[in-house]
Amino acid sequence: MTQTTSLTIIRPDDWHLHLRDGAMLEGVLPHSAAHFARAIIMPNLVPPVVTGAHAAAYRDRILAALPAGMSFEPLMTLYLTEATDPDDVEAAHASGLVKAVKLYPAGATTNSQSGVKDFGKVQAVLERMAGIGLPLCVHGEVTASDIDIFDREAVFIERVLDPLRRRVPELKVVMEHVTTEDAVQYVAADTSSRLGATVTTHHLIINRNHILAGGIRPHYYCLPVAKREKHRLALRAAATGGDGRFFLGTDSAPHTDPAKLSECGCAGCFTAPNTMGLLAHVFEEEGALDRLEGFASRQGPAFYGLPVNTQTMTLVKQDHPVSHPAKIETGAGPVTVFDPGFEVFWQVQG
Ligand code: DOR
Ligand code: ZN
């Protein structure tokens, strides 16, 4: 059998990305724009991107930070709070600016203090979104301190997500960065065609042992935290299985090394520079290279009702391991690039 050494796919999109602001934005944006045509931009800045006006201003800052000659379309999101105004959401959607609203349960992760505590208070916004076909992107973890951190996603589905979807059945929902077999099964069992899920690159590669066994690895700490091996395998099967409801959202989430390596380190893996090569590696391992295009380039646009990109990307398998810089330097400080812990031979061409 001849080995595949080159793969050309439609240019991919990233359906879940943190770009931050200021010097960090300038440092990380070129790494996403080099490979991805578009990305859903997370709104968890300080302060968060809450209104259409905030989103428009943030979009302008992103485009201003884009190096000359690069093309990249930021797909903006609004951060849902208990004070979000349905009319503002509708106007931001009608103008084409905003492609989703993000739900962070209060306290779930980085900069989520303004998130939702009382879901009754966002019912009117959710109903409006359902009416206009605007998706809700969900960080699916409960925050109750009595729930074990490894159970927070599964409990969220039962206590929050499923009841929410029953209250607003027409709402399109993306379960972001799924990390459990429970989430995979919940999405796969849905028959409404209004439920999708993003899967990160790093959750296809690490399980919780990688974070904790043989020394603590802060650069593998993210939220939702990686779970045990059976969950990683379920994610691999979902991502590589050709089911259109699962698509790529890297959740590339840069923090400076001092912020990661402190006594209370930040959650997030920075995968923008090497995600596509890592995905080719994973899909090849699963015998599913022919499904990478669906996962990274077709299924996301289909869920969001957007056209697929017209450009292509070529990945090439080298006969020697590809090396990436261990970290990038940004004006905000150094940011360590996700290290998969194995040799990778696939690389984006050019
Ligand atoms: O690991 C994470 N980092 N998970 C999130 O949900 C937020 C993100 C961040 O903003 O750093
Ligand atoms: Zn995220």
What's the 18 CA to ligand 2 centre distance in angstroms?
Answer: 6
Q: Which of 146, 251, 290, 319 is catalytic?
A: 251
* Residues with Cβ–ion distance below 5 A, ligand 2: 251
Positions of the chain with pLDDT under 50: none
- The number of the ligand 1 atom at minimal distance from the alpha carbon of 42 is 10
List, edge to edge, every strand of the sheet that includes 14-17.
14-17, 38-41, 73-79, 98-103, 136-138, 173-175, 195-199, 246-248
Q: Which residues line ligand 1 (CB under 6 A)?
A: 18, 44, 109-110, 139, 222-223, 253, 266-268
Q: Could you tell me if 237 and 54 are in contact, meaning their C-beta atoms sit under 8 angstroms apart?
A: no
- The number of the ligand 1 atom at minimal distance from the alpha carbon of 221 is 1
pLDDT score, position 2: 62
Q: Quick check: helix, strand or coil at residue 251?
A: coil
Residue with tokens 């930070």: 65
Integer Rg of the chain from CA: 19
pLDDT score, position 320: 96
- The number of the ligand 1 atom at minimal distance from the alpha carbon of 254 is 11
Is 85 in the active site? Answer: no
What's the 151 CA to ligand 1 centre distance in angstroms?
Answer: 17
Report CA dihedral (157, 163, 165, 166) to the nearest 10 degrees.
140
Ligand nearest to the CA of 268: 1
What's the 287 CA to ligand 1 centre distance in angstroms?
Answer: 30
pLDDT tens digits for range 216-266: 999 999 999 999 999 999 999 999 999 999 999 999 999 999 999 999 999
Angle at 306 between CA 37 and CA 268, to 5 degrees: 50
Q: Whose CA is nearest to atom 4 of ligand 1?
A: 223
pLDDT score, position 1: 52
> What is the DSSP-derived secondary structure letter of residue 22?
H
Domain boundaries in the chain?
6-348
Could you name the CATH architecture of 6-348?
A: Alpha-Beta Barrel (3.20)
What pTM, to 2 d.p., does this model score? 0.97
